[in-house]
A and B are shown apart, each in its own frame.
Chain A
Amino acid sequence: MLSTPVSNKPAPQSEPLLDVRGLSVSFGRGTSAVPVVMGVDLRVGRQETLCLVGESGSGKSVTSLALMALAPGGAEITGGQVLFEGQDLTAMGPAALGKVRGRRMAMVFQNPAHSLNPILTVGKQLGEIYAWHTRANRRETRERVADLLRQVGITDAHGRLDQFPHELSGGMKQRVCIARALLCDPALILADEPTTNLDVTIQAQILDLLDEIKETFRTSILLVTHDMGVVARMADRISVMYAGRICESGEARAVFRDPQHPYTRALLDSTPRIDMRYEPGARDLPAIGGRPPNPAQRPDGCQFHPRCAEAGEDCRALLPRMTASGPGHAVSCLRRGSRVEENAA
């Protein structure tokens, strides 16, 4: 279940479902513009799960919202392309975008309580979306919604249609949100920290559900998370984001077995593990000091150098670019032989 049989995957050279090239997003305009996402490349293949990993403020959530053209207030896409099924979303008008968004590409948010309208019943708010996209009549809509609720593991689906969001538990609400995302047979589900607000036993259920959906609905998943455990559980491929840039990306196993970027290593090493013994008196996690830079005052050179034990003089001045470090594995770190970004003045 965890890994899709290789034969099911499309050949690697075929066009990816989502191909993000050099995406940049800034808050504000003109001289006071603060870049929060800089030159991000992402690729999501068909029926593949890509995990976008990073801490708060790394720009991972802004990136996922920008893909949906839902950039939060004041944010603006300042460069790059978002190729989805071969079309460039950044060049589309609002009408064309509306057809892609919510239909071919759907979003599941972190806080299910906030992403459901509290004054509409479950049946209504899901039905409205379905009817709007497909022009289905009321009975078809109701059947379709009930059917989907069943498929996301909600018992007594017909009864739930007339319940309001507050009558559902947190896990149940997230299932409804997932059902909402599935309404129009999306090719890609963007899930932004979908289990962060849930208890671990419920988190396990929702992760199982996402895996099932990938199979039954033949969708791809872009999962934004900070939890390396969730990444290991879900990812086919991983992109690690730090301070607005991707610092490492590759096949999940390759990244976990042989993390290249010092930040990726730190993320893995600094999380205590439940399958490890810690002797009293010798408890010490290999923590990295400091915290990510303030987006308004970024250091020169590699964004990670102030916290990096391996940083040298060159790291303070030069910006590394993503460079292949092995099959299906790329990293941007001068200590790992990455090339220097030329147009970074």
Chain B
Amino acid sequence: MASIDHISAAGTARTDKPRGMWAQGWARFRRNRTGMLGLGLVSFVVLVAILSPLIAPYAANDQSAMMNFGSRSGPSLAHPFGTDRMGYDVLTRIVYGAPTALAVGLGTMLVASVLGLLIGGISGYVGGWADEVMMRLTEFFLVLPVFVVILAVVRLFGVIVVGTPLEDIPYLNLTTIVLLLGLFGWPPIARIARAEFMRLKSMEFVEAARCIGATRSDILLRHILPNAMPSLVVVIALGIGSAILSEAMVSFLGFGDPEAISWGQLLYFNYAQLKVSPWASIAPSTAIFITVLGFNLLADGLSDAFNPRVK
């Protein structure tokens, strides 16, 4: 009996170290060009966001360009991306827009993930009536015209809070947008979570855990959730991109947070002067494009990396 394993060890002649699923996924991810490009773009945006106070050439609300260069001045050494209609340095505004964009993306997906995981997880694991109810709920949220609701709620809320202590909360409008985007962003996550939990709960290794006598929370947290994570990470990465895009759209329509510096708002302030000062519109559009593209490519790469059929 002992000889068996010498043979199999010799037969496979393994040289690599044992690797877990994440390590394996990373090894595959590294070989994926689009995924690595996405990771590069995302890292760039994250780096800019973290270092924004250091790399921005001017203070965030510095409108001093009005004095000498004037508003809508073209790219120059002092203002590499030019200045905009309000006399802001475009590069500074772009740099300070990065943390906002990431906060929106991550915040939205945090809300959406918690909701989606809870609803989808319960739906998939419990099944039966709970599943029926939760899936109808998911469908309801999917057919709602999200933008109309968000715009209406943001405007209404903005009026209601006037004169209440709520008014003093910083970035109230932005927080509202993030919460609303999260509240409407969970259905895709719930669907994936439901499918994964359903698939995994009937897997033999989960049944094996039940045979051993593992508790329900053991099974959910130790067996099912970690195995569902790869698929969830992919939708979450995709969701971050689309949340950033949604916030930009809300801001572009003029419903953004006046306190926050956001790329969408930059567009909103400058799109009317597209012919006079195209730089002020092109720069934020490019920033949005790069960020969203980065997250989408990252998601793409991750889904390839965790797909066991791709070697």
Residues on A facing B (Cβ under 8 Å): 289-294, 297, 299, 306-307
Contact of A307 among B1, B7, B12, B13 (CB under 8 A): B7
Within 8 A of A (CB), among B229-263: none
With CB as the reference atom, state the residue of chain A lying closest to B15.
A297
**Inter-chain contact A290/B12, CB cutoff 8 Å:** no
CA–CA, A212 to B7, complex, Å?
44
With CB as the reference atom, state the residue of chain A lying closest to B9.
A290
| Chain A residues, CB < 8 A from B13 | 294, 297
Please give 10 more A-B residue pairs, beta carbons under 8 A apart, in addition to A290-B7, A290-B11. Answer: A289-B1, A289-B7, A290-B8, A291-B7, A291-B8, A291-B11, A294-B11, A297-B12, A299-B11, A306-B10
Of the A-B pairs whose beta carbons lie under 8 Å apart in the complex, a sample of 26, sorted by A's number, is: A289-B1, A289-B3, A289-B4, A289-B7, A290-B3, A290-B4, A290-B7, A290-B8, A290-B11, A291-B7, A291-B8, A291-B11, A292-B11, A293-B11, A294-B11, A294-B12, A294-B13, A297-B11, A297-B12, A297-B13, A299-B10, A299-B11, A306-B7, A306-B10, A306-B11, A307-B7
- CB proximity of B240 to chain A, nearest CB, Å: 35
With CB as the reference atom, state the residue of chain A lying closest to B4.
A289
Q: How many residues of B contact A (CB 8 A)?
A: 9
| Chain A residues, CB < 8 A from B11 | 290-294, 297, 299, 306
| Chain A residues, CB < 8 A from B10 | 299, 306
With CB as the reference atom, state the residue of chain A lying closest to B3.
A289
Q: 0/1 per residue, B144-184, Cβ < 8 Å to A?
A: 00000000000000000000000000000000000000000
Chain B interface secondary structure, helix, strand, loop or mixed? helix
CA–CA, A293 to B11, complex, Å?
5
CA–CA, A189 to B161, complex, Å?
80
Residues on B facing A (Cβ under 8 Å): 1, 3-4, 7-8, 10-13
With CB as the reference atom, state the residue of chain A lying closest to B12.
A294
| Chain B residues, CB < 8 A from A294 | 11-13
Chain A to chain B: the 6 pairs with minimum beta-carbon distance, closest first: A290-B7, A289-B4, A293-B11, A297-B13, A306-B7, A294-B12
CA–CA, A289 to B2, complex, Å?
9
- CB proximity of A182 to chain B, nearest CB, Å: 34
Of A289, A294, A299, the most chain B CB neighbours within 10 A belong to: A289
- CB proximity of A306 to chain B, nearest CB, Å: 5
- CB proximity of B6 to chain A, nearest CB, Å: 8
- CB proximity of A73 to chain B, nearest CB, Å: 12
| Chain B residues, CB < 8 A from A289 | 1, 3-4, 7
CA–CA, A200 to B7, complex, Å?
34
CA–CA, A117 to B12, complex, Å?
38
- CB proximity of B239 to chain A, nearest CB, Å: 33
- CB proximity of A125 to chain B, nearest CB, Å: 27
CA–CA, A306 to B3, complex, Å?
10
- CB proximity of A270 to chain B, nearest CB, Å: 13
With CB as the reference atom, state the residue of chain A lying closest to B13.
A297
CA–CA, A265 to B167, complex, Å?
86
| Chain A residues, CB < 8 A from B12 | 294, 297
With CB as the reference atom, state the residue of chain B lying closest to A291.
B8
- CB proximity of B261 to chain A, nearest CB, Å: 51
With CB as the reference atom, state the residue of chain A lying closest to B10.
A306
| Chain B residues, CB < 8 A from A297 | 11-13
CA–CA, A165 to B10, complex, Å?
46
CA–CA, A293 to B8, complex, Å?
8
With CB as the reference atom, state the residue of chain B lying closest to A290.
B7
